[in-house]
A and B are shown apart, each in its own frame.
Chain A
Amino acid sequence: MAEAVKKQGIKEFITSIPYNKIGLKDLMSFEKTPRNIIIAVITFAFLVSFAVGVALYLMHGHHSYNVTREHPWGLLIAVYIFFVVSSTGLCIVGSLGDVFGYKEYEMISKRAIFGSIVTIIAGFAVIAFEIGHPVTMLIYNVLTPGFTSAIWWMGTLYGLYLTFMIIEFVFLLKHDMRMARIFGLTGLLVGLAAHSNLGGVFGFLNARTISNGVFYPTYFILTAFITGIFIAFIMMGIRYRLSFPENAKKMLTNLAKIQGLLIAILIFFVTWKMLTDIYGGMPNRSEVALHILGSWTFWAEVVLAMAIPLLIILKSKGSAIHAMFWASLGGMVGVFFMRYNLVHDTQLKPLQMMKVREYQLAPEWVHYFPSAAEIMISLGGLGLCILLYYVGTKLFNLDAETH
């Protein structure tokens, strides 16, 4: 970058980033079909709910959430993970073309990289209202870093990752593929490190035998790729309104085949995780695993994110891309439950199992259901994501440029 910037000067480098000059009028000038209007209204409603949720949080702090001492991490952590997993996944999908040089995937690179920026910003917007003191975090993350903390590595690396993704996107806009490749590869490696550290946040919890171990750091990378492909289908489906040109059909068919393999590996992973958790009846692990098997949210994850997409891919050998668009929408709901489950299931078993007051029952399972404020901020994150992506489609040319 230094070379390119030196040649042009920073000011000229920034001012020469290609973008479309748009105003509010341009943003409102979408085709007024019923579907578009519904999406616009829903997005607006989500953004309003974000504002209300944040207002509730600012007035009542963490008391506006249903998090407790026994269940300190709630929906917002799950939604943050959902967004950053999406970001890492999109980064992987975007890298197929512009980093690894697979020509057929170049048509989605710019869109995917922009998507990865948008989703991680949405993730940061959500987590900012979960961390009690975000400004203190910015200060003491630098002044007194906790190098043994997976959260420190995850947060710091994600910050770097966002920077690299933005620089890569700028070079993609400028069609400087060599620099885009350098920053893309760096961003990808930093993103993967950040993401596996996010898995490590759970994997390092010795006290929580259900999560402790190597499973989550690797599982997070695998599910990120799966999530990235789901979103790639959704983005391309919306871009072409399900009337895909030939090159998009070819790319999506190939992506579907990769997705089939990844989901099969995921099913293999989850099956063995469950078996090893249950086998031998290890206290605090097997009973939690059995409890998970009895929860509908686990089966929502299995059916929506694994079974349905895999069946469609196997039946059509990856060519049913219309069906895959719809299955990807359902898949993202499944991925949401995947994130919610991993956060909630980690905290299912109380760490202190004795009653401490008279007439109290001994603790059994920790119950949690998100509060209105948590739900509103989470939906707001989704609204923010849709809004930023929409603005991006107007502001930048996200299609591949013809060489």
Chain B
Amino acid sequence: MARYGMALDYKNCINCKACEVACKEENGILMGADKHRIWVGVKEIKGEYPLLDIVSSSFEPSQCQHCESAPCQEVCPTNATYYDENGVVRVDPDKCILCSYCMNACPYDARYVDDRTMTVDKCNFCSDTRLARGETTTACQATCPTKVRTFGDLDDPESEISVLLRTREHFSLKSHLGTKPKLFYLT
């Protein structure tokens, strides 16, 4: 039993999209599918040439935030969305009725419809694949060339992610909504 989370040193992101490719390969996500499971958001450069604010441009890798108080789980009428023993927010496709309420309720737009099963899918921190095989890394983390992502057990004080969160300042997305995300953006 662990409490998995992920820290993102997002300023290191070079938008190479290797994480998206690795995720698709590892978890069998449809190729070409836009913004499925994980994506990299691009903040445009502000200002007009030649007065461009170059530092305003940044990349923000994103995905399901694996909230401790997940709105998508609360609104699910059949409990198809559930927290597993590692605190990972997951979907049981057998119970999903495709009412799309979770898609509307998720503040992070992290859910999408898998066209093969016609159920709602999302990132599950590679729980069906790498974690199930006993590994303790995710595909996106393992492939990242600039080591943006650090995945680990938040309850283990010696884990790399716990050390990072103790020593680096960080923020969470839309934390004012009280969702308690387990994705942390390092500053």
Contacts and interface: CB of A to CB of B under 8 A. Distances in A.
Interface of A: 61-63, 67, 69-70, 72-73, 131-134, 136-137, 140-141, 144-146, 148-152, 155, 201, 204-208, 346-347, 350-352, 354-358, 362
Given A72-B100, A356-B34, A356-B35, A136 B108 contact: no
23 contacts: A61-B118, A72-B104, A73-B104, A131-B99, A133-B118, A134-B97, A136-B96, A140-B95, A140-B97, A141-B78, A145-B78, A146-B78, A149-B101, A151-B101, A204-B75, A206-B107, A206-B179, A351-B107, A351-B108, A352-B109, A355-B41, A356-B35, A356-B40
Contacts of A132: 96-99, 118-119
Contact of A151 (B40, B77, B177): B77
Contacts of B75: 146, 148-151, 204
Given A140-B97, A207-B106, 15 more contacts: A62-B118, A69-B112, A70-B109, A72-B103, A133-B97, A136-B95, A140-B79, A145-B79, A146-B77, A150-B75, A151-B77, A204-B74, A206-B178, A354-B43, A356-B39
Contact of B177 (A73, A140, A206): A206
Q: Top 4 nearest A-B pairs by Cβ distance?
A: A132-B98, A354-B41, A207-B107, A72-B100
Nearest to B79: A144
Contacts of B43: 354
Contacts of B74: 148-149, 204
B103 to A, nearest CB: 4
Interface string B35-53: 1000111111000000000
Contact of A146 (B79, B113, B178): B79
Quick one: which of A133, A150, A152 has the most chain B CB within 10 A?
A133
Quick one: which of A136, A201, A346 has the most chain B CB within 10 A?
A136
B77 A155 contact: yes
B62 interface: yes
A352 B97 contact: no
Nearest to B43: A354
A350 B118 CA distance: 22
B104 A347 contact: yes
Contacts of A350: 109
Given A72-B104, A207-B71, A137 B99 contact: yes
Contacts of A69: 35, 103, 109, 111-113
Interface residues of B, number: 43
Contact of A133 (B98, B101, B177): B98
A272 B43 CA distance: 36
B8 to A, nearest CB: 14
B29 interface: no
B14 interface: no
Nearest to A350: B109
B22 interface: no
Interface in B61-88: 62, 71, 74-80
Quick one: which of B76, B78, B101, B115 has the most chain A CB within 10 A?
B78
Nearest to B176: A206
B142 interface: no
Contacts of A208: 104
A347 B103 CA distance: 11
A141 B77 CA distance: 7
Contacts of B80: 140, 144
B105 interface: yes
Contact of B95 (A67, A144, A151): A144
Contact of A149 (B42, B77, B177): B77
Contacts of A148: 74-75
Interface string B108-140: 110111010011000000000000000000000
Contacts of B96: 132-133, 136
B164 to A, nearest CB: 24
B60 interface: yes
A264 B171 CA distance: 47
Contacts of A134: 97
A155 B113 CA distance: 22
A131 B113 CA distance: 13
Contact of B97 (A67, A136, A347): A136
Nearest to B80: A140
A70 to B, nearest CB: 7
Contacts of A141: 77-78
B118 A149 contact: no
Quick one: which of A137, A148, A354 has the most chain B CB within 10 A?
A354
Contacts of A205: 71, 104-105
Nearest to B94: A136
Contacts of B35: 69, 352, 356
Nearest to B42: A355
A220 B34 CA distance: 36
B41 A352 contact: yes
B132 to A, nearest CB: 22
A179 B118 CA distance: 45
Contact of A144 (B78, B107, B113): B78
A250 to B, nearest CB: 45
Contacts of B112: 69
A70 B108 CA distance: 11
A358 to B, nearest CB: 8
A208 B101 CA distance: 12
